[in-house]
Amino acid sequence: MNKTFFLVFLAVVLMASYVQAQQTGAASEARYHGPFIENFNKSASEFFNFNMRRIGYDYRYYPNIPSLTERGTDIMMLRMDTEDPAGAGRGPEIGSKELTHFGTYSARIRVPDVTKVQPNLGAVVGYFTYRMDSVHGLSEIDYEWLIADPEVIYIGTWTGTKGDLQRVGRTINLAKGIIYSTSYKADRAERNRSGQLTGLQSQPETITPIANYNAAARFYIYGFDWYPNRLTWWIIHPDTNEKIVLWDYPGPTPNFTGIPVPPTRYLINFWHTNNWPVQTNPNSIEKPLYPYALEVDWMSYTPFEDLNKAYQVQNQ
């Protein structure tokens, strides 16, 4: 009996320890960032982890160094490695340590200038949120620059579960004030697969160009406001400080989720693409010849506390 009792007791202890570990992991996953601004003025970040290589030295991250292009500004540099394989997330990337959710996101960024050195470079700068949730699926909101043409901006969302991913997006030439497309596409054919958005889902219908806009020529402040039922992407005009709305998307697109729902992670990255050319240059998929440098002055996040608490209560 004593032996049996001991075995039962041991099993109960082990099970309790397992449950506690699981709960601890879940609690850790459910930690949220409060408001912050990261200036990258220390060797390590309070808010972001760097996606470092597991072995050897990683010469892709340089926090708290002078900008190469703007005197008096210290920046975080993400430098491309010419040996990095093609694919999202395979170059330098930083991501938030905890979760973020509904709120205002903004950053001051300058992408690399490659148009004279390697005009057909295939490279992407991504400023975005990303997390795949087992229940709700993907939560992604993004800005992307295919830097072979730094006048062009890609913005949009990814939602849905694996095998049923859905994209809404807008492609803009901000120097010329051209909206190339405001569109949707899906993995599953029954979701109408692809098409153009119009009316309330395509506002503003026109965009006044920013004179001489070039994401590689200077720093710009980009941002988005994420609500449960609305997403607004914007840029601050560098001369007037006016907030210029690039896309005010109310969702949902028919048969689409459109606007992400679950909490996410906050990221910026820089990577080589060998199959996604920029809108204006179908040849721009070359492997990088040099270690080009992305400069990030700061990244900030201001949560919408009431909306986030309401979501957490509903999903306990």
Whether residue 50 sits in one domain with residue 155? yes
Q: How confident is the model at residue 26 (pLDDT cuts 50, 70, 90)?
A: very low
Whether residue 163 sits in one domain with residue 54? yes
**Over residues 287-292, mean pLDDT:** 98
How many domains are contained in the chain?
2
Whether residue 70 sits in one domain with residue 25? no
Q: Which domain holds residue 102?
A: 36-314
In this predicted model, what pLDDT tens digit does every residue of 40-68 receive, in sequence order? 999 999 999 999 987 778 999 999 999 99
In this predicted model, what pLDDT tens digit does every residue of 107-116 receive, in sequence order? 999 999 999 9
Whether residue 81 sits in one domain with residue 9? no
pLDDT at site 6 = 38
Read off the CATH number of the domain in which 205 is found: 2.60.120.200
Whether residue 124 sits in one domain with residue 42? yes
What is the C-alpha separation between 287 and 56, in angstroms, rounded? 22
Whether residue 213 sits in one domain with residue 238? yes
Whether residue 225 sits in one domain with residue 178? yes
Whether residue 148 sits in one domain with residue 24? no
Tokens 């060998």 locate to 274
Whether residue 15 sits in one domain with residue 48? no
Nearest to 165 by CA among 129, 139, 199, 197: 139
Whether residue 4 sits in one domain with residue 119? no
Whether residue 159 sits in one domain with residue 307? yes
Nearest to 271 by CA among 93, 119, 126, 91: 91
